[in-house]
Chains A and B, each alone.
Chain A
Amino acid sequence: GAVVSQHPSRVICKSGTSVKIECRSLDFQATTMFWYRQFPKQSLMLMATSNEGSKATYEQGVEKDKFLINHASLTLSTLTVTSAHPEDSSFYICSARQETNQPQHFGDGTRLSIL
């Protein structure tokens, strides 16, 4: 149980393109979903926290207009990287949590490469 599906797994596109990444909880309802960016040498950076039906809470330094997050239902959250540039190239990972203080369940990540 507790499966999170993240799609697509890899995207390669031209500079200026907008890219949408989906995160779905397949067998549980996720009251909270998280979006991370993972840099080289492993560190995970929390970008934003989204609760179903409300606006996402962004971490300091993350551009809200650049990284649009929508959490329309208890099983789906999307991250849209708008007008992506090469510096946005990274590994993006989502996670979902059913209740507070419970473990997160992670998607397999999306490797985004902007040419």
Chain B
Amino acid sequence: GNSVTQMEGPVTLSEEAFLTINCTYTATGYPSLFWYVQYPGEGLQLLLKATKADDKGSNKGFEATYRKETTSFHLEKGSVQVSDSAVYFCALSGLSGGSYIPTFGRGTSLIVHP
């Protein structure tokens, strides 16, 4: 079946530091890839997406590139802010057992200090 593996957290950074959260996946065919963000006490929000190899998704200064050769979709941001503190989920939507079922990673908590 499909699976998503992302780095364990928490990731703790100072404001304006560079962020990378690693995500790799296993899937058949050509899944779509997503990053979602969850702020404390809230549901998940779509942060960015990529639907085919070499696509780069970007939003709010975050970027991730769909790398089929390495089956990765790492999330990056050049300069994090305190307001970026949240839990980040890598996810894919791909064919599994005849249906397009979403698969999530376990989430990575990001803590940004002033």
Binding site for B on A (CB under 8 A): 4, 6, 34, 42-44, 46, 49, 57, 93, 95, 97, 100-109
With A and B bound together, what is the CA distance between A6 and B43 in angstroms?
A: 9
Interface range on chain B (Cβ under 8 Å from partner)? 20 to 34
The B interface is mostly helix, strand or loop, or mixed, namely: strand
In Å, the complex CA distance between A104 and B36 comes to 10
Q: Are B36 and A106 in contact (CB under 8 A)?
A: yes
Pair B45/A100 contact, Cβ less than 8 Å: no
User: How many contacting A-B pairs (Cβ < 8 A)?
Assistant: 55
Residues of B46-64 whose CB lies within 8 A of A: 46, 49, 51
Let me know if B109 is at the binding interface, CB within 8 A.
yes
Are B32's CB and A95's CB within 8 A? Answer: no
Contact B101 A93 (CB under 8 A): no
Among the interface residues B49, B51, B104, B109, which one has the most CB atoms of the partner chain A within 10 A?
A: B104
Chain B residues near A43 (CB, 8 Å)? Answer: 106-107
CB distance from A21 to the nearest CB of B (A): 12
Closest chain A residue, CB of each to CB of B92: A101
Q: B94 CB to closest chain A CB, in angstroms?
A: 8
1/0 per residue B82-114: CB within 8 Å of A? Answer: 000001010001100001111010110100000
